[in-house]
Structure formats: structure tokens, C-alpha cells
Amino acid sequence: MSAPLAERMRPKSLDEYIGQRHLVGERAILRKMIESGNLSSFILWGPPGVGKTTLARIIANRLERPFYTLSAINSGVKDIREVIDKAKNNRFFNQRNPILFIDEIHRFSKSQQDSLLGAVENGTVTLIGATTENPSFEVITPLLSRCQVYVLKSLDKKDLQSLITRALADDFELKQRTIRVEEDDALLRFSGGDARKLLNILELVANSSAESELVITNALVTERLQENLATYDKGGEMHYDIISAFIKSIRGSDPDAAVYWLARMVAGGEDPKFIARRLVISAAEDIGLANPNALLLANACFDALQKIGWPEGRIILSETAVYLANSPKSNSAYLAIDVALALVKETGDLPVPLHLRNAPTKLMKELNYGKEYHYAHDGDNHFIEQQYLPDEIKHRSIWQAAENPAEQKQAEWLRKLWKGRF
């Protein structure tokens, strides 16, 4: 029995690799690193099927280094130590570091990640980790500080079309038949930017017919998928579609829909920590200052899940989802930080006004650092009007109160203090 199409089409070189031009294109960071041979440890973060494992293998082959691989799903501390010992014992004089590739590194526990630290730090192995989850949450700080993080993107339409064309032209089995893609919208839509999923769908559709000639249409793809694919894939398109529907239901103040989509994820085996993290983000992004308690509850939900676990954790998630959906909504804090970031990009590194600067030394005091600063708590209502923004942008407005009782009350208080500024 032959390997699946996705495995048969796995690129062997950077020239065959599709997508991620920002990392492996001409003069891009990873291509430079590979061409120089000076490889440092790094983590590849991106959605499923965008080439994380393939890129690690290409790098190992190109640099002709020993390549060890572990999957976080079925490897423990003992397996890690065995690989590290093997890397030490099999290394020849002046040979470059072996590469240790760890797929789904976010699934490693703290103790498993701790067991990697020494080998990464002393150069026994060069670590390449792959993760679909934000490394800031899932990778311990000491290990993260020893690795660069490179973000991989979902493949765009042009990338996916190139992949289809190449598969039909180059794959030995598909070339035995006449297969023409008349419509590719369904192929691209169901793949969700996932190369592996796209090739799996193409293979499924091709294998569904024994005829020597096949015309692929949107209707044919949809029909074949409805007959063969599971309704929830926590590693693929449905994973992202359902979490999107869940967050949009909370944002749209529909607790019924929020709990329904939550139930779909729970029934589908979704990682509860993934759901809880999205609730924390939603509390800050969509509810914000309209109800600051929402962020406190969402954060408490995340902590409680760590202590309680499953299946009771579903009740904590449900309580939080309903509360967030029922809360008044505001994105003023979210908009404010984006306005401020745009202002920083526009104006650059503006100097801190002298009266706001710290003055820990005599010289700094002589240079008038902090000289005219007024301690706010000495004023009426713990407020003294003074300038806090750099001179160049002192009249710019960044935060705008949203139309909800909590923020309107805050804005009214600021207007009283600042005499109409807000």
C-alpha cells in the first residue's frame, strides 16, 4: 500500500517548499541561517498543515546533520534523555550539533521541557520545536529564552493552487489518470490554508472514482466530503471555525449560541485550556471597560480549570461564557492600544518630558530631571493638571469612551478633572 498523497508530495528542498516566503524566500531570515550553516534553536508556530515538520526535515537534510524527532503526544522524560544521550554518543569530532525536532512541543509538561534545557544550552542538540499554540503560554520561559520564535502563516490561494497543480503533474499515482480541476473553490475552502488537508481532500475525491478521467467540481468535492469527513477536526478548519463562532456569539451577546458552540468543542475533545485562553482574550477585547469584572472572572476560570480539570471544568467554562455573553460590550481599550501603536510608528521614539524622568543621580537632578513634576496625590481629588505626553503629541487623543454606563461615568470624571479634555 502506497503512502498517502500528502506524504508522497512532501518537499525535499527549499525550492520545492510552498509558502512562508517571509521565512524562506530570498534573503529571508531562515534561508540565510540555513545557507550559512549557523543554525540556532528555534520554535515554529503556526496552524496545522503549513509545513512546520517539512521545514525541519529540509533543514536537517540541507545541513547534513543527524536528525532526531520526538512527538510530544507519546514521548516522556525518559525518551528525551535517551535521544540526548544518543546525540552525545553518536557525535563525531568537529561535527555540527544534531537537530532534535519536537512536534507539538506545547503538549510537553514543565518537567519534560526542563529536561531539554541543559542539552539546548550547552549545544548537545539544536532544538526545533513545532506548535500550533502560542509559545508564550505553552513553553516555559527558560526554554523560550533560548529559542527564536518564527510564525508560519496559513497558505494563501496562490500557494494552494500551486500545490494542486504540482500534485496532478508530479505524483506518480495521480499521473496515471486524466484529472482536471474545473472548479477549485470548494477544495480551497475546505482545506482552510492547510496543505496536508488539501492533499487529503484531493486524494479522497480522486479515489472516490475508478474512472480514468475525472473532472473535479465544487459540487463533487462537497458531496465526497459529506460522505467521508468527520464533522469536527480539532486540528483543522472546523477547530478554527467553531472557536470563531463561539467568540462571535459572545461578542454578539447571545448566550444560547455561545453555550452551543462551547458544547460542540467539549464534545469534539477540544483542549479546555485553549477555550479558557480565548475567553480571557474576549473579556479584554470585547467587554473591556464596560465590565472590568469580566476579565477577572475569565482569568479565574483559567486558573480554576488547572485545579479542577475535566469533566467538571465544562461547568466553569459555561458559567464564564454565559457571563461574558450577557455583559455589556466595549472595545475602547483594544482600539486605544492600536491607536497608540500607530502613533508610535508615526512619530518614533519621542523624548520623555524632563519633569517625568527619573532622577536617581546628582547629575540627573542638575539636568532638571523630574524637577517640575507634581505629585498627583497632593492635589484635590488626588489630581494636579500637568502634561504627561511628549510635546509633539500633547494634544492628540488616544482613548475614546464607548457608549456604555461604566465608561461614560469614567469619561465624566476625566472631563471634570481635565476641564473638557475628554
Secondary structure, 3-state, 231-256: CCCCCCHHHHHHHHHHHHHHHCCCHH
Site of grid cell 473532472: 215
Phi-psi region of 104 (alpha: psi -120 to 50; beta: other; left: phi over 0): left
The H or E element containing residue 298 is: helix 293-308
Confidence (pLDDT) at 40: 86
Confidence (pLDDT) at 282: 92
Confidence (pLDDT) at 417: 81
Roughly what angle, to the nearest 10 degrees, separates helices 255-267 and 237-251? 160
| 311 upstream amide cis, omega within 30 of 0 | yes
Among residues 48, 23, 22, which one has the least CA distance to residue 106?
48
Largest Cα span, the chain: 88
Give me the half-sphere count of Cα atoms (radius 13 Å) on the Cβ side of residue 297.
20
Question: Is the sign of the CA dihedral 71, 264, 244, 19 positive or negative?
Answer: positive
Confidence (pLDDT) at 408: 85
Q: Cβ-count burial of 317 within 10 angstroms (0-12 exposed, 13-18 middle, 19+ buried)? A: buried
Give the cell for residue 292: 472590568
For every residue of 284-295, DSSP letters joined together read IIIIGGG-THHH
CB 410 within 8 A of CB 333: no
| Neighbour count for residue 106 (Cβ, 10 Å) | 22
Beta-bridge partner residues of 43: 129, 149
Q: What is the DSSP letter of 162?
A: H
Domains of the chain with bracketed CATH: 20-151 (3.40.50.300), 157-228 (1.10.8.60), 249-326 (1.20.272.10), 332-418 (1.10.3710.10)
Site of grid cell 536537517: 60
From the first residue on, what is the mean pLDDT of each consecutive set of 10 residues in the chain (422 residues)? 81 86 87 84 87 88 83 78 81 71 84 85 86 83 88 88 90 86 86 84 83 85 68 51 85 86 81 88 90 92 85 89 89 87 83 79 76 81 82 82 83 80 71
Among residues 271, 278, 277, 326, which one has the least CA distance to residue 303?
277
- Terminal-to-terminal C-alpha distance of the chain: 71
- Measured distance CA(122)–CA(246) in Å, rounded: 44
* Ranges of H-type helices in 174-292: 185-191, 195-207, 218-228, 237-251, 255-267, 272-282
Confidence (pLDDT) at 227: 61
- Measured distance CA(191)–CA(156) in Å, rounded: 11
Confidence (pLDDT) at 299: 92
Question: Is the sign of the CA dihedral 262, 264, 269, 270 positive or negative?
Answer: negative
- Measured distance CA(308)–CA(315) in Å, rounded: 10
- Measured distance CA(105)–CA(130) in Å, rounded: 6
Among residues 385, 383, 388, which one has the least CA distance to residue 353?
388
Phi-psi region of 70 (alpha: psi -120 to 50; beta: other; left: phi over 0): beta
- Measured distance CA(128)–CA(53) in Å, rounded: 9
Question: Phi and psi (nearest 5°) for 115?
Answer: -70, -15
